[in-house]
Amino acid sequence: MSTQLKTKNSKLKTPAVPPRWRNEVERILITDAQLARRVKTLAAEIEKDFRGRETVVISLLSGTVMFLADLIRHLNLPLRLDFIGVSSYGAGTESGELVFTKELRLDVRGRDVLLVDDILDTGKTLSRVLPKIRALKPRRIKTCVLLDKPARRVENIRADYVGFAIPDLFVVGYGLDFAERYRNLPFVGVLHPHVYKKPTGAILKNKPPSHQA
Ligand code: IMP
Ligand code: MG
């Protein structure tokens, strides 16, 4: 149910990165118009599957901020919204230990749950969060991610709804960050490797030392 990016063979030229961000962002991977279109169709898919059910949307902080806001305004469902805070702290390495910074408050027992995250990468985050929610005995849990990087997966996990499957690139914008920056960009862009290069010149393969999930 995901959408492969068609930017490569598309006749439409991807717009240039705005001058303000050109030093840090290499290129635009997904434009704001492509995001808007896909979020709408994704919401339609979800709405069809959840019709008639009161839904609890659980969103992982903070990368989902823009995606979530756009997605739920297209969801014509009676829903309640809650957040789980997860941070991954690693000593300069990728996918460090996960720390919960905010717990769920709403009761989800017997409810239909839609778990929303920004990007499914190694799968470690979702594979830690899902058992926690399952333990609260919801009727069912469906997972929805804006982006999926299947090439990086280490856990046997897939999302029920995927906005775009993307290649193994570190991306920022539309809520996604590097070291808490770039969440405000209206597009998804590829970060210049020099931004996450260590002073030694070594490149952090994927994640920065401290990363708000
Ligand atoms: P996972 O636990 O490896 O699946 O990673 C999930 C989390 O890592 C996401 O919610 C993001 O916060 C972060 N992440 C993974 N890849 C990227 C990326 O390309 N850009 C920004 N954040 C990312
Ligand atoms: Mg995240």
pLDDT tens sequence across 15-47? 999 999 999 999 999 999 999 999 999 999 999
Cβ-Cβ contacts under 8 Å for 194 (sequence gap 6 or more) = none
Q: Is the CB of 62 under 6 A from ligand 1?
A: no
For ligand 2, the distance from its centroid to the CA atom of residue 147, given in whole angstroms, is 10
120 in contact with ligand 1, CB cutoff 6 A: yes
Token pair belonging to 74: 């297209």
Quickly state the pLDDT bin for 88 (edges 50, 70, 90): confident
Q: Which residues have a catalytic role annotated?
A: 121
Extract long-range pairs of 107-111: CB within 8 Å, 24+ residues apart: 107/136, 108/56, 108/58, 108/133, 108/136, 108/137, 108/138, 109/136, 109/137, 109/138, 110/137, 110/138, 110/139, 111/54, 111/55, 111/56, 111/138, 111/139
Q: How far apart are the first and last CA of the chain?
A: 24
- Give the CA radius of gyration of the chain: 17
pLDDT at 94: 58
- The answer to whether the beta carbons of residues 3 and 165 sit under 8 Å apart is yes
Q: Is the pLDDT of residue 126 over 90?
A: yes
Instruction: Give pTM, 2 decimals.
Output: 0.90
Task: Give me the chain's average pLDDT, please.
Answer: 89
Rounded CA-CA distance 131/145 in Å is 17
Tokens of 140: 């069912």
State if residue 122 touches ligand 1 by the CB under 6 angstroms criterion: yes
Q: How many CB atoms lie within 10 A of CB 22?
A: 12
pLDDT tens digits, 149-168: 999 999 999 999 999 999 99
Neighbours of 210 (CB within 10 A): 14
What pLDDT does residue 93 have?
Answer: 36
Q: Is the pLDDT of residue 199 over 90?
A: no
Pairing of strands 97-102, 79-89: antiparallel
- pLDDT tens figures, 47-84: 999 998 999 999 999 999 999 999 999 999 999 999 99
Q: Helix (H, G, I), strand (E, B), or coil: what is residue 181?
A: strand
Give the closest residue (by CA) to ligand 1 atom 8.
213
Structure tokens belonging to residue 22: 């050109």
pLDDT of 97:
82
CB distance 118 to ligand 1 below 6 Å: yes
Smallest Cα–Cα separation from 146: which of 211, 64, 212? 64
Quickly state the pLDDT bin for 2 (edges 50, 70, 90): low
Q: Which residues of 88-114 are buried (b: 16+ CB within 10 A; e: fewer)?
A: bebeeebbbebeeeeebeeebeebbbb
Cα 46 to averaged position of ligand 2 atoms, centre (Å): 20
